[in-house]
A = this chain, B = another copy of it.
Protein backbone atom coordinates (compact mmCIF):
# COMPACT_ATOMS: atom_id res chain seq x y z
CA UNK A 1 0.00 0.00 0.00
CA UNK A 2 1.27 3.48 -0.70
CA UNK A 3 2.54 5.04 2.49
CA UNK A 4 3.93 1.80 3.91
CA UNK A 5 7.68 1.53 4.22
CA UNK A 6 9.43 -0.85 1.87
CA UNK A 7 13.05 -1.85 1.56
CA UNK A 8 14.83 -1.63 -1.76
CA UNK A 9 18.22 -3.19 -2.37
CA UNK A 10 20.24 -1.86 -5.25
CA UNK A 11 22.44 -4.36 -7.11
CA UNK A 12 25.28 -4.80 -7.85
CA UNK A 13 26.38 -2.16 -5.29
CA UNK A 14 24.29 -3.72 -2.50
CA UNK A 15 23.01 -0.42 -1.09
CA UNK A 16 19.77 -0.78 0.86
CA UNK A 17 17.24 1.97 1.46
CA UNK A 18 13.82 2.27 3.12
CA UNK A 19 11.25 4.35 1.22
CA UNK A 20 7.48 4.66 1.05
CA UNK A 21 5.71 2.05 -1.04
CA UNK A 22 4.88 3.61 -4.38
CA UNK A 23 8.16 5.51 -4.66
CA UNK A 24 9.82 5.40 -8.05
CA UNK A 25 13.14 3.63 -8.46
CA UNK A 26 14.67 7.04 -9.26
CA UNK A 27 13.42 8.48 -5.96
CA UNK A 28 14.68 5.45 -4.06
CA UNK A 29 18.01 5.73 -5.84
CA UNK A 30 18.35 9.37 -4.81
CA UNK A 31 17.52 8.40 -1.27
CA UNK A 32 20.27 5.79 -1.43
CA UNK A 33 22.74 8.31 -2.81
CA UNK A 34 22.99 6.60 -6.17
CA UNK A 35 23.15 8.81 -9.19
CA UNK A 36 20.99 7.30 -11.89
CA UNK A 37 21.10 8.74 -15.37
CA UNK A 38 17.91 10.71 -15.94
CA UNK A 39 18.72 12.72 -19.00
CA UNK A 40 15.24 14.07 -19.46
CA UNK A 41 14.79 15.02 -15.83
CA UNK A 42 12.77 11.96 -14.92
CA UNK A 43 10.03 12.53 -17.42
CA UNK A 44 10.09 9.12 -19.09
CA UNK A 45 11.26 10.62 -22.35
CA UNK A 46 14.84 9.53 -22.82
CA UNK A 47 14.69 5.90 -21.80
CA UNK A 48 18.18 6.14 -20.36
CA UNK A 49 17.35 5.17 -16.81
CA UNK A 50 16.48 1.55 -17.43
CA UNK A 51 16.86 -0.87 -14.53
CA UNK A 52 15.81 -4.47 -13.87
CA UNK A 53 13.40 -5.08 -11.04
CA UNK A 54 14.17 -8.48 -9.51
CA UNK A 55 11.99 -10.92 -7.56
CA UNK A 56 8.22 -10.94 -7.38
CA UNK A 57 7.25 -7.36 -6.65
CA UNK A 58 7.65 -6.20 -10.24
CA UNK A 59 5.35 -3.29 -10.99
CA UNK A 60 3.20 -3.42 -14.13
CA UNK A 61 4.82 -1.56 -17.00
CA UNK A 62 3.39 1.89 -17.63
CA UNK A 63 2.33 3.10 -21.03
CA UNK A 64 5.51 5.16 -21.32
CA UNK A 65 7.64 2.12 -20.50
CA UNK A 66 5.82 0.02 -23.08
CA UNK A 67 6.63 2.59 -25.75
CA UNK A 68 10.31 2.82 -24.82
CA UNK A 69 11.14 -0.80 -23.91
CA UNK A 70 10.68 -3.92 -26.01
CA UNK A 71 8.25 -6.69 -25.05
CA UNK A 72 11.14 -8.98 -24.13
CA UNK A 73 12.76 -6.31 -21.97
CA UNK A 74 9.52 -5.69 -20.12
CA UNK A 75 8.96 -9.42 -19.64
CA UNK A 76 12.50 -9.69 -18.26
CA UNK A 77 11.64 -7.11 -15.57
CA UNK A 78 13.26 -4.10 -17.21
CA UNK A 79 11.65 -0.81 -16.28
CA UNK A 80 12.44 2.90 -16.38
CA UNK A 81 13.70 4.10 -12.99
CA UNK A 82 11.75 7.33 -13.36
CA UNK A 83 8.45 5.56 -14.05
CA UNK A 84 8.48 2.30 -12.13
CA UNK A 85 6.73 2.68 -8.76
CA UNK A 86 7.73 -0.10 -6.40
CA UNK A 87 4.85 -1.77 -4.53
CA UNK A 88 6.88 -3.76 -1.99
CA UNK A 89 10.29 -4.95 -0.83
CA UNK A 90 12.43 -5.78 -3.79
CA UNK A 91 15.89 -5.67 -5.33
CA UNK A 92 16.72 -3.53 -8.32
CA UNK A 93 19.62 -4.17 -10.63
CA UNK A 94 21.14 -0.99 -11.99
CA UNK A 95 23.17 -1.66 -15.13
CA UNK A 96 26.50 0.07 -15.63
CA UNK A 97 25.06 2.24 -18.36
CA UNK A 98 22.41 3.64 -16.03
CA UNK A 99 24.61 4.18 -13.02
CA UNK A 100 25.89 7.73 -13.42
CA UNK A 101 29.04 7.40 -11.42
CA UNK A 102 30.57 4.85 -13.71
CA UNK A 103 31.32 7.41 -16.32
CA UNK A 104 34.87 8.25 -17.14
CA UNK A 105 36.04 11.57 -15.73
CA UNK A 106 38.57 13.65 -17.45
CA UNK A 107 40.62 15.37 -14.80
CA UNK A 108 43.68 16.73 -16.38
CA UNK A 109 43.91 19.30 -19.08
CA UNK A 110 47.12 20.44 -20.59
CA UNK A 111 49.59 21.77 -18.05
CA UNK A 112 50.34 25.46 -18.30
CA UNK A 113 53.05 27.54 -16.76
CA UNK A 114 51.69 30.47 -14.83
CA UNK A 115 53.58 32.90 -12.64
CA UNK A 116 52.37 32.34 -9.09
CA UNK A 117 50.61 35.38 -7.72
CA UNK A 118 47.88 34.09 -5.43
CA UNK A 119 45.29 36.25 -3.68
CA UNK A 120 46.04 34.75 -0.31
CA UNK A 121 49.24 35.28 1.63
CA UNK A 122 50.64 33.42 4.61
CA UNK A 123 52.01 35.10 7.73
CA UNK A 124 53.73 33.21 10.52
CA UNK A 125 52.71 34.25 14.04
CA UNK A 126 55.13 33.72 16.89
CA UNK A 127 54.26 35.96 19.79
CA UNK A 128 54.57 36.20 23.51
CA UNK A 129 51.30 35.65 25.32
CA UNK A 130 49.59 38.81 26.57
CA UNK A 131 50.48 40.06 30.02
CA UNK A 132 49.40 42.87 32.32
CA UNK A 133 52.10 45.03 30.76
CA UNK A 134 51.12 44.08 27.24
CA UNK A 135 47.38 43.83 27.18
CA UNK A 136 46.69 44.42 23.48
CA UNK A 137 43.56 42.69 22.28
CA UNK A 138 44.11 39.40 20.49
CA UNK A 139 43.26 40.81 17.09
CA UNK A 140 45.40 43.92 17.57
CA UNK A 141 48.29 41.66 18.54
CA UNK A 142 47.96 39.79 15.26
CA UNK A 143 47.64 43.06 13.33
CA UNK A 144 50.75 44.42 15.03
CA UNK A 145 52.75 41.36 14.02
CA UNK A 146 51.52 41.57 10.42
CA UNK A 147 52.45 45.23 10.32
CA UNK A 148 55.93 44.45 11.60
CA UNK A 149 56.60 42.46 8.41
CA UNK A 150 58.64 44.30 5.81
CA UNK A 151 56.42 45.99 3.26
CA UNK A 152 53.23 47.88 3.51
CA UNK A 153 51.49 48.65 6.78
CA UNK A 154 47.75 48.58 6.72
CA UNK A 155 44.65 48.66 8.87
CA UNK A 156 43.93 44.97 9.09
CA UNK A 157 40.37 43.86 9.44
CA UNK A 158 38.53 40.58 9.65
CA UNK A 159 35.01 39.28 9.61
CA UNK A 160 33.45 38.73 13.00
CA UNK A 161 33.47 35.00 12.23
CA UNK A 162 37.24 35.08 11.89
CA UNK A 163 37.76 37.12 15.05
CA UNK A 164 35.58 34.66 16.95
CA UNK A 165 38.01 31.86 16.11
CA UNK A 166 41.18 33.72 17.00
CA UNK A 167 41.25 33.85 20.80
CA UNK A 168 40.90 30.10 21.38
CA UNK A 169 43.32 29.23 18.60
CA UNK A 170 45.93 31.66 19.91
CA UNK A 171 45.75 30.17 23.40
CA UNK A 172 45.65 26.57 22.26
CA UNK A 173 48.70 27.08 20.06
CA UNK A 174 50.51 29.25 22.63
CA UNK A 175 50.60 32.00 19.99
CA UNK A 176 52.31 29.86 17.32
CA UNK A 177 50.19 29.61 14.20
CA UNK A 178 49.75 30.82 10.64
CA UNK A 179 47.53 33.65 9.48
CA UNK A 180 46.08 33.83 5.96
CA UNK A 181 45.35 37.26 4.53
CA UNK A 182 43.62 38.50 1.42
CA UNK A 183 44.18 42.18 0.72
CA UNK A 184 43.80 43.92 4.07
CA UNK A 185 41.62 41.19 5.51
CA UNK A 186 42.66 38.39 7.82
CA UNK A 187 40.62 35.48 6.45
CA UNK A 188 41.75 32.56 8.54
CA UNK A 189 44.26 30.54 10.46
CA UNK A 190 46.05 27.24 10.24
CA UNK A 191 48.85 25.41 12.00
CA UNK A 192 52.37 26.83 12.23
CA UNK A 193 54.42 26.39 9.07
CA UNK A 194 51.52 25.29 6.85
CA UNK A 195 51.14 26.62 3.31
CA UNK A 196 47.90 28.08 1.99
CA UNK A 197 46.17 25.66 -0.39
CA UNK A 198 43.59 26.35 -3.04
CA UNK A 199 40.92 24.35 -4.82
CA UNK A 200 40.12 24.79 -8.52
CA UNK A 201 36.70 23.49 -9.52
CA UNK A 202 35.39 22.73 -12.99
CA UNK A 203 31.65 22.65 -12.48
CA UNK A 204 30.13 20.84 -15.42
CA UNK A 205 26.52 19.86 -15.99
CA UNK A 206 27.37 16.19 -15.79
CA UNK A 207 30.52 16.12 -13.74
CA UNK A 208 32.46 18.18 -11.24
CA UNK A 209 36.23 17.98 -11.22
CA UNK A 210 38.34 19.53 -8.50
CA UNK A 211 42.05 20.01 -7.96
CA UNK A 212 44.01 20.85 -4.82
CA UNK A 213 46.97 23.13 -5.39
CA UNK A 214 49.63 24.61 -3.14
CA UNK A 215 49.25 28.36 -3.63
CA UNK A 216 52.89 29.03 -2.84
CA UNK A 217 54.58 26.62 -5.22
CA UNK A 218 51.77 25.66 -7.60
CA UNK A 219 52.10 21.93 -6.93
CA UNK A 220 48.99 19.90 -7.57
CA UNK A 221 48.47 17.81 -4.44
CA UNK A 222 45.32 15.93 -5.40
CA UNK A 223 42.60 15.67 -8.03
CA UNK A 224 39.15 14.25 -7.74
CA UNK A 225 35.94 14.09 -9.72
CA UNK A 226 32.33 13.16 -9.16
CA UNK A 227 29.22 13.21 -11.31
CA UNK A 228 27.23 16.38 -10.77
CA UNK A 229 24.68 15.33 -8.13
CA UNK A 230 22.09 17.45 -9.92
CA UNK A 231 22.01 14.80 -12.68
CA UNK A 232 19.25 12.98 -10.85
CA UNK A 233 17.15 16.14 -11.16
CA UNK A 234 17.55 16.24 -14.92
CA UNK A 235 20.49 15.64 -17.18
CA UNK A 236 19.93 18.72 -19.27
CA UNK A 237 20.22 22.15 -17.78
CA UNK A 238 16.84 23.35 -18.93
CA UNK A 239 15.09 20.71 -16.80
CA UNK A 240 17.06 21.88 -13.78
CA UNK A 241 16.43 25.56 -14.45
CA UNK A 242 12.70 24.90 -14.85
CA UNK A 243 12.76 23.04 -11.56
CA UNK A 244 14.70 25.83 -9.82
CA UNK A 245 12.20 28.38 -11.08
CA UNK A 246 9.41 26.56 -9.25
CA UNK A 247 10.33 28.30 -6.03
CA UNK A 248 12.82 28.83 -3.28
CA UNK A 249 12.52 25.30 -1.92
CA UNK A 250 13.33 23.59 -5.19
CA UNK A 251 16.09 25.98 -6.13
CA UNK A 252 17.65 25.48 -2.72
CA UNK A 253 17.39 21.70 -3.10
CA UNK A 254 19.27 21.91 -6.40
CA UNK A 255 21.82 24.32 -4.95
CA UNK A 256 22.39 22.19 -1.85
CA UNK A 257 22.96 19.12 -4.02
CA UNK A 258 25.82 20.75 -5.89
CA UNK A 259 27.11 22.62 -2.83
CA UNK A 260 27.28 19.35 -0.91
CA UNK A 261 29.02 17.76 -3.89
CA UNK A 262 31.68 20.46 -3.89
CA UNK A 263 32.10 20.20 -0.11
CA UNK A 264 32.61 16.45 -0.41
CA UNK A 265 35.09 16.94 -3.23
CA UNK A 266 37.10 19.36 -1.09
CA UNK A 267 37.06 16.90 1.81
CA UNK A 268 38.20 14.10 -0.51
CA UNK A 269 41.02 16.28 -1.85
CA UNK A 270 42.17 17.08 1.70
CA UNK A 271 41.99 13.39 2.59
CA UNK A 272 43.95 12.38 -0.49
CA UNK A 273 46.66 14.92 0.19
CA UNK A 274 46.51 14.35 3.94
CA UNK A 275 46.13 18.05 4.77
CA UNK A 276 43.89 19.94 7.19
CA UNK A 277 40.80 21.72 5.88
CA UNK A 278 42.08 24.81 7.70
CA UNK A 279 44.80 25.02 5.05
CA UNK A 280 42.21 25.68 2.34
CA UNK A 281 42.55 29.40 1.71
CA UNK A 282 41.03 30.01 -1.71
CA UNK A 283 38.66 28.45 -4.24
CA UNK A 284 38.27 29.25 -7.90
CA UNK A 285 35.39 27.84 -9.93
CA UNK A 286 34.32 27.81 -13.57
CA UNK A 287 31.07 26.58 -14.97
CA UNK A 288 28.52 27.65 -17.47
CA UNK A 289 26.24 30.51 -16.53
CA UNK A 290 23.28 28.31 -15.65
CA UNK A 291 25.37 26.05 -13.40
CA UNK A 292 26.84 29.09 -11.64
CA UNK A 293 23.35 30.45 -11.04
CA UNK A 294 22.19 27.12 -9.64
CA UNK A 295 25.23 26.92 -7.37
CA UNK A 296 24.98 30.50 -6.13
CA UNK A 297 21.20 30.34 -5.59
CA UNK A 298 20.74 33.19 -8.03
CA UNK A 299 17.33 33.65 -9.64
CA UNK A 300 17.19 31.76 -12.94
CA UNK A 301 14.03 33.27 -14.43
CA UNK A 302 16.08 35.52 -16.70
CA UNK A 303 17.92 32.53 -18.17
CA UNK A 304 14.75 30.79 -19.30
CA UNK A 305 13.12 33.30 -21.60
CA UNK A 306 14.12 35.93 -24.12
CA UNK A 307 16.03 38.20 -23.90
CA UNK A 308 17.99 35.68 -21.76
CA UNK A 309 19.56 37.78 -19.03
CA UNK A 310 21.90 36.51 -16.33
CA UNK A 311 21.53 37.85 -12.79
CA UNK A 312 25.26 38.46 -12.99
CA UNK A 313 27.92 37.55 -15.49
CA UNK A 314 30.73 39.39 -13.70
CA UNK A 315 33.35 37.68 -11.61
CA UNK A 316 31.93 37.08 -8.15
CA UNK A 317 33.76 36.54 -4.89
CA UNK A 318 31.22 34.70 -2.80
CA UNK A 319 31.93 33.90 0.83
CA UNK A 320 31.77 30.13 0.98
CA UNK A 321 29.46 30.20 3.99
CA UNK A 322 26.95 32.17 1.91
CA UNK A 323 26.75 29.32 -0.55
CA UNK A 324 26.37 26.45 1.88
CA UNK A 325 29.99 25.35 1.91
CA UNK A 326 31.30 24.97 5.42
CA UNK A 327 35.05 25.39 5.81
CA UNK A 328 37.07 26.59 8.80
CA UNK A 329 38.36 29.78 7.19
CA UNK A 330 36.20 32.65 6.02
CA UNK A 331 37.34 32.36 2.43
CA UNK A 332 35.80 33.41 -0.85
CA UNK A 333 34.94 31.30 -3.83
CA UNK A 334 36.04 33.20 -6.91
CA UNK A 335 33.59 32.55 -9.74
CA UNK A 336 35.20 33.44 -13.06
CA UNK A 337 33.30 35.90 -15.22
CA UNK A 338 30.99 34.73 -17.99
CA UNK A 339 30.33 36.33 -21.33
CA UNK A 340 26.58 36.14 -20.92
CA UNK A 341 23.65 33.86 -20.31
CA UNK A 342 24.80 31.46 -23.01
CA UNK A 343 28.57 31.62 -22.88
CA UNK A 344 29.83 30.82 -19.45
CA UNK A 345 32.94 31.11 -17.33
CA UNK A 346 33.96 27.65 -18.53
CA UNK A 347 34.43 29.07 -21.98
CA UNK A 348 36.33 32.09 -20.64
CA UNK A 349 38.55 29.61 -18.80
CA UNK A 350 39.06 27.59 -21.97
CA UNK A 351 40.20 30.70 -23.85
CA UNK A 352 42.44 31.66 -20.92
CA UNK A 353 43.94 28.19 -20.58
CA UNK A 354 44.80 27.96 -24.24
CA UNK A 355 45.94 31.55 -24.54
CA UNK A 356 43.64 31.93 -27.56
CA UNK A 357 43.10 35.63 -26.77
CA UNK A 358 46.83 36.29 -26.95
CA UNK A 359 47.72 34.04 -29.89
CA UNK A 360 49.76 35.60 -32.68
CA UNK A 361 47.75 33.44 -35.13
CA UNK A 362 44.17 33.57 -36.19
CA UNK A 363 42.90 30.98 -33.76
CA UNK A 364 39.74 28.94 -33.58
CA UNK A 365 38.60 27.35 -30.34
CA UNK A 366 35.81 24.79 -30.28
CA UNK A 367 34.23 23.25 -27.21
CA UNK A 368 31.68 20.64 -28.24
CA UNK A 369 29.09 19.49 -25.75
CA UNK A 370 25.31 19.57 -25.58
CA UNK A 371 25.97 23.21 -26.22
CA UNK A 372 28.90 24.00 -28.48
CA UNK A 373 30.88 27.16 -28.03
CA UNK A 374 33.11 28.53 -30.75
CA UNK A 375 35.59 31.35 -30.39
CA UNK A 376 37.51 33.10 -33.13
CA UNK A 377 40.48 35.29 -32.29
CA UNK A 378 41.99 37.60 -34.90
CA UNK A 379 45.12 39.29 -33.55
CA UNK A 380 45.29 41.99 -36.23
CA UNK A 381 41.82 43.29 -35.41
CA UNK A 382 41.77 42.51 -31.69
CA UNK A 383 38.64 40.57 -32.42
CA UNK A 384 37.33 37.90 -30.09
CA UNK A 385 34.08 36.55 -31.50
CA UNK A 386 32.02 33.96 -29.68
CA UNK A 387 29.14 31.94 -30.94
CA UNK A 388 27.26 29.18 -29.25
CA UNK A 389 24.82 26.70 -30.68
CA UNK A 390 22.78 23.98 -29.09
CA UNK A 391 24.23 20.76 -30.48
CA UNK A 392 22.22 18.38 -28.32
CA UNK A 393 23.28 15.26 -26.50
CA UNK A 394 24.21 13.34 -29.65
CA UNK A 395 27.94 13.68 -29.12
CA UNK A 396 27.53 12.35 -25.59
CA UNK A 397 25.69 9.29 -26.91
CA UNK A 398 22.25 10.76 -26.39
CA UNK A 399 19.40 10.36 -28.91
CA UNK A 400 21.36 7.47 -30.41
CA UNK A 401 19.62 4.07 -30.32
CA UNK A 402 22.62 2.32 -28.81
CA UNK A 403 24.40 5.43 -27.64
CA UNK A 404 25.83 5.74 -24.15
CA UNK A 405 28.18 7.91 -22.13
CA UNK A 406 31.93 7.43 -22.27
CA UNK A 407 31.72 4.58 -19.75
CA UNK A 408 33.43 1.18 -19.68
CA UNK A 409 32.26 -0.99 -22.59
CA UNK A 410 31.45 2.00 -24.81
CA UNK A 411 32.78 1.81 -28.37
CA UNK A 412 35.10 4.80 -28.75
CA UNK A 413 36.87 3.89 -32.00
CA UNK A 414 35.67 2.15 -35.17
CA UNK A 415 37.96 1.08 -38.00
CA UNK A 416 37.19 -0.79 -41.21
CA UNK A 417 40.15 -2.63 -42.67
CA UNK A 418 39.45 -4.32 -45.99
CA UNK A 419 36.57 -6.64 -45.13
CA UNK A 420 36.82 -6.61 -41.38
CA UNK A 421 35.49 -4.09 -38.89
CA UNK A 422 37.31 -3.43 -35.61
CA UNK A 423 35.91 -1.64 -32.60
CA UNK A 424 37.84 -0.37 -29.59
CA UNK A 425 35.94 -0.01 -26.32
CA UNK A 426 36.70 1.86 -23.12
CA UNK A 427 38.58 -0.45 -20.75
CA UNK A 428 38.53 -3.03 -23.59
CA UNK A 429 35.36 -4.62 -22.25
CA UNK A 430 32.90 -6.35 -24.58
CA UNK A 431 30.95 -3.58 -26.35
CA UNK A 432 27.60 -2.52 -24.95
CA UNK A 433 27.00 0.71 -26.88
CA UNK A 434 28.62 3.66 -28.61
CA UNK A 435 29.90 6.86 -27.06
CA UNK A 436 30.21 10.08 -29.07
CA UNK A 437 33.63 9.49 -30.60
CA UNK A 438 32.58 5.97 -31.60
CA UNK A 439 29.48 7.31 -33.35
CA UNK A 440 31.56 9.77 -35.37
CA UNK A 441 34.13 7.15 -36.30
CA UNK A 442 31.43 4.72 -37.33
CA UNK A 443 29.62 7.19 -39.54
CA UNK A 444 32.86 8.40 -41.10
CA UNK A 445 33.70 4.79 -41.94
CA UNK A 446 30.19 4.07 -43.27
CA UNK A 447 30.52 7.11 -45.44
CA UNK A 448 33.94 5.99 -46.67
CA UNK A 449 32.76 2.48 -47.52
CA UNK A 450 29.73 3.86 -49.28
CA UNK A 451 27.22 2.38 -46.84
CA UNK A 452 25.69 5.87 -46.64
CA UNK A 453 25.49 8.50 -49.34
CA UNK A 454 26.14 12.23 -49.01
CA UNK A 455 22.56 12.75 -47.81
CA UNK A 456 23.14 10.19 -45.07
CA UNK A 457 20.91 7.50 -46.51
CA UNK A 458 21.88 3.96 -45.57
CA UNK A 459 22.22 2.02 -48.82
CA UNK A 460 20.20 -1.17 -48.84
CA UNK A 461 22.21 -4.03 -50.25
CA UNK A 462 25.43 -2.94 -48.65
CA UNK A 463 27.02 -5.45 -46.28
CA UNK A 464 25.59 -5.35 -42.71
CA UNK A 465 22.78 -3.05 -43.76
CA UNK A 466 19.40 -4.55 -42.94
CA UNK A 467 15.81 -3.55 -42.56
CA UNK A 468 15.05 -2.64 -38.94
CA UNK A 469 11.84 -1.69 -37.17
CA UNK A 470 12.20 1.94 -38.14
CA UNK A 471 13.94 1.73 -41.47
CA UNK A 472 17.40 0.65 -42.47
CA UNK A 473 20.03 -0.02 -39.86
CA UNK A 474 23.68 -0.97 -39.90
CA UNK A 475 24.81 -3.86 -37.67
CA UNK A 476 28.04 -2.68 -36.09
CA UNK A 477 28.44 -5.49 -33.57
CA UNK A 478 26.59 -8.75 -33.72
CA UNK A 479 24.87 -10.11 -30.63
CA UNK A 480 27.44 -12.84 -30.19
CA UNK A 481 30.27 -10.28 -29.95
CA UNK A 482 28.52 -7.77 -27.70
CA UNK A 483 28.68 -7.46 -23.95
CA UNK A 484 24.94 -7.87 -23.49
CA UNK A 485 24.18 -10.47 -26.11
CA UNK A 486 22.26 -8.11 -28.38
CA UNK A 487 23.16 -6.53 -31.71
CA UNK A 488 24.60 -3.04 -31.60
CA UNK A 489 23.26 -1.13 -34.58
CA UNK A 490 23.37 2.29 -36.14
CA UNK A 491 19.95 3.27 -37.38
CA UNK A 492 18.93 5.65 -40.11
CA UNK A 493 17.52 7.78 -37.30
CA UNK A 494 20.91 7.80 -35.54
CA UNK A 495 22.56 9.08 -38.71
CA UNK A 496 19.97 11.83 -39.01
CA UNK A 497 20.66 12.88 -35.41
CA UNK A 498 24.37 13.11 -36.12
CA UNK A 499 23.70 15.07 -39.29
CA UNK A 500 21.66 17.63 -37.37
CA UNK A 501 24.19 17.91 -34.59
CA UNK A 502 27.24 18.19 -36.79
CA UNK A 503 25.45 20.65 -39.06
CA UNK A 504 24.83 22.95 -36.13
CA UNK A 505 28.52 23.01 -35.28
CA UNK A 506 29.73 23.25 -38.86
CA UNK A 507 27.28 25.99 -39.84
CA UNK A 508 28.21 27.97 -36.74
CA UNK A 509 31.90 27.81 -37.57
CA UNK A 510 31.23 28.72 -41.18
CA UNK A 511 29.04 31.67 -40.22
CA UNK A 512 31.59 32.97 -37.75
CA UNK A 513 34.30 32.81 -40.40
CA UNK A 514 32.12 34.51 -42.97
CA UNK A 515 31.08 37.31 -40.61
CA UNK A 516 34.69 38.03 -39.71
CA UNK A 517 35.91 37.73 -43.30
CA UNK A 518 38.19 34.87 -42.36
CA UNK A 519 39.28 32.27 -44.90
CA UNK A 520 39.96 28.74 -43.68
CA UNK A 521 43.55 29.01 -44.92
CA UNK A 522 44.18 31.97 -42.58
CA UNK A 523 43.57 29.93 -39.45
CA UNK A 524 46.84 28.96 -37.82
CA UNK A 525 45.56 27.20 -34.74
CA UNK A 526 42.56 25.10 -33.86
CA UNK A 527 41.96 24.12 -30.25
CA UNK A 528 39.46 21.38 -29.46
CA UNK A 529 38.49 21.57 -25.81
CA UNK A 530 36.44 19.47 -23.46
CA UNK A 531 36.11 15.74 -23.05
CA UNK A 532 34.54 15.08 -26.42
CA UNK A 533 37.02 17.33 -28.23
CA UNK A 534 39.83 15.37 -26.65
CA UNK A 535 38.61 11.91 -27.54
CA UNK A 536 37.18 12.50 -30.99
CA UNK A 537 39.16 11.51 -34.05
CA UNK A 538 39.95 14.69 -35.95
CA UNK A 539 40.13 12.96 -39.34
CA UNK A 540 36.75 11.30 -38.83
CA UNK A 541 35.34 14.64 -37.70
CA UNK A 542 36.62 16.37 -40.82
CA UNK A 543 35.38 13.42 -42.92
CA UNK A 544 31.79 13.81 -41.72
CA UNK A 545 32.01 17.60 -41.94
CA UNK A 546 31.77 18.27 -38.20
CA UNK A 547 35.07 20.18 -38.30
CA UNK A 548 36.33 22.27 -41.21
CA UNK A 549 39.37 21.25 -43.20
CA UNK A 550 42.02 23.78 -42.19
CA UNK A 551 45.08 23.37 -44.39
CA UNK A 552 47.41 25.59 -42.34
CA UNK A 553 46.24 25.04 -38.79
CA UNK A 554 47.90 23.09 -36.06
CA UNK A 555 45.25 21.21 -34.15
CA UNK A 556 45.43 20.88 -30.37
CA UNK A 557 43.14 18.54 -28.48
CA UNK A 558 43.42 20.45 -25.28
CA UNK A 559 41.62 18.27 -22.79
CA UNK A 560 39.81 19.81 -19.86
CA UNK A 561 40.79 23.39 -20.57
CA UNK A 562 38.10 24.74 -18.28
CA UNK A 563 39.75 23.00 -15.33
CA UNK A 564 43.16 24.25 -16.43
CA UNK A 565 41.81 27.80 -16.66
CA UNK A 566 40.35 27.48 -13.17
CA UNK A 567 43.72 26.35 -11.82
CA UNK A 568 45.50 29.24 -13.53
CA UNK A 569 43.08 31.76 -12.07
CA UNK A 570 43.37 30.05 -8.69
CA UNK A 571 47.08 30.70 -8.36
CA UNK A 572 47.31 34.01 -10.21
CA UNK A 573 45.60 37.34 -9.79
CA UNK A 574 46.99 38.30 -13.20
CA UNK A 575 45.06 35.42 -14.73
CA UNK A 576 41.88 36.57 -12.96
CA UNK A 577 42.40 39.98 -14.52
CA UNK A 578 42.94 38.39 -17.92
CA UNK A 579 39.75 36.40 -17.53
CA UNK A 580 37.95 39.68 -16.90
CA UNK A 581 39.54 41.17 -20.02
CA UNK A 582 38.43 38.17 -22.08
CA UNK A 583 34.87 38.52 -20.79
CA UNK A 584 34.81 42.23 -21.57
CA UNK A 585 36.52 41.94 -24.98
CA UNK A 586 34.44 39.04 -26.25
CA UNK A 587 31.62 39.85 -28.65
CA UNK A 588 28.88 37.32 -28.86
CA UNK A 589 27.38 36.65 -32.26
CA UNK A 590 23.71 35.69 -32.25
CA UNK A 591 23.80 33.14 -35.07
CA UNK A 592 20.07 32.84 -35.51
CA UNK A 593 19.89 36.51 -36.37
CA UNK A 594 22.30 36.01 -39.29
CA UNK A 595 20.28 35.79 -42.44
CA UNK A 596 22.32 33.05 -44.15
CA UNK A 597 22.58 30.84 -41.11
CA UNK A 598 19.58 28.64 -41.87
CA UNK A 599 20.74 27.99 -45.44
CA UNK A 600 24.20 27.18 -44.09
CA UNK A 601 22.61 24.83 -41.58
CA UNK A 602 20.62 22.96 -44.22
CA UNK A 603 23.67 22.56 -46.46
CA UNK A 604 25.81 21.38 -43.56
CA UNK A 605 23.59 18.38 -42.87
CA UNK A 606 25.10 16.77 -45.97
CA UNK A 607 28.27 14.77 -45.81
CA UNK A 608 31.33 15.91 -47.76
CA UNK A 609 32.31 13.66 -50.66
CA UNK A 610 32.48 13.27 -54.42
CA UNK A 611 30.57 15.89 -56.28
CA UNK A 612 29.64 13.09 -58.70
CA UNK A 613 27.36 11.58 -56.12
CA UNK A 614 25.10 14.57 -56.04
CA UNK A 615 22.09 14.78 -58.24
Interface, chain A (partner B; CB < 8 A):
130-132, 134-140, 143, 157, 159-161, 163-164, 166-168, 171, 296-299, 301-302, 306-314, 316-319, 322-323, 338, 340-341, 590
Contact = CB atoms under 8 A, between A and B. Distances in A.
Contact of A298 (B167, B296, B316): B167
Given A159-B318, A167-B299, 13 more contacts: A130-B307, A132-B308, A132-B590, A135-B340, A137-B340, A138-B309, A139-B311, A143-B314, A157-B314, A157-B317, A163-B296, A164-B297, A167-B301
Nearest to A295: B160
Contact of A160 (B139, B140, B297): B297
B298 A164 contact: yes
Contacts of A131: 307
19 contacts: A131-B307, A135-B307, A137-B311, A137-B314, A137-B338, A138-B310, A139-B312, A140-B312, A140-B314, A157-B317, A159-B318, A159-B319, A159-B322, A161-B322, A163-B296, A163-B311, A164-B297, A164-B299, A164-B311
A171 B299 CA distance: 12
A14 to B, nearest CB: 39
A310 B322 CA distance: 28
Contacts of A318: 159-160
Contacts of A316: 157, 160, 163
Nearest to A313: B137
A30 B163 CA distance: 31
A135 B109 CA distance: 32
Given A164-B299, A167-B302, A139 B322 contact: no
A338 B338 CA distance: 44
A132 B308 CA distance: 8
A172 to B, nearest CB: 12
A306 B132 contact: yes
A596 to B, nearest CB: 19
Given A132-B590, A164-B299, A317-B157, A137 B307 contact: no
A160 to B, nearest CB: 4
A134 B309 CA distance: 9
Nearest to A308: B135
3 interchain residue pairs of minimum CB distance: A139-B312, A137-B313, A137-B310
Contacts of A136: 309, 313
From A137, A157, A306, A310, residue with most partner B Cβ within 10 Å: A137
A135 B388 CA distance: 15
A296 B311 CA distance: 32
A366 to B, nearest CB: 23
Contacts of A311: 137-139, 163-164, 166-167
Nearest to A316: B160
Given A167-B301, A168-B299, A309 B135 contact: yes
Contacts of A164: 296-299, 311
A160 B314 contact: no
A341 B135 contact: yes
Nearest to A340: B135
B309 A130 contact: yes
A613 B130 CA distance: 49
Given A132-B590, A167-B298, A296-B160, A139 B314 contact: yes
Contact of A302 (B138, B140, B163, B340): B138
A319 to B, nearest CB: 7
Nearest to A309: B130
B139 A319 contact: no
A314 B132 CA distance: 19
Given A140-B312, A160-B316, A307 B168 contact: no
B163 A298 contact: yes
Contacts of A167: 298-299, 301-302, 309, 311
A421 B164 CA distance: 55
Nearest to A135: B307
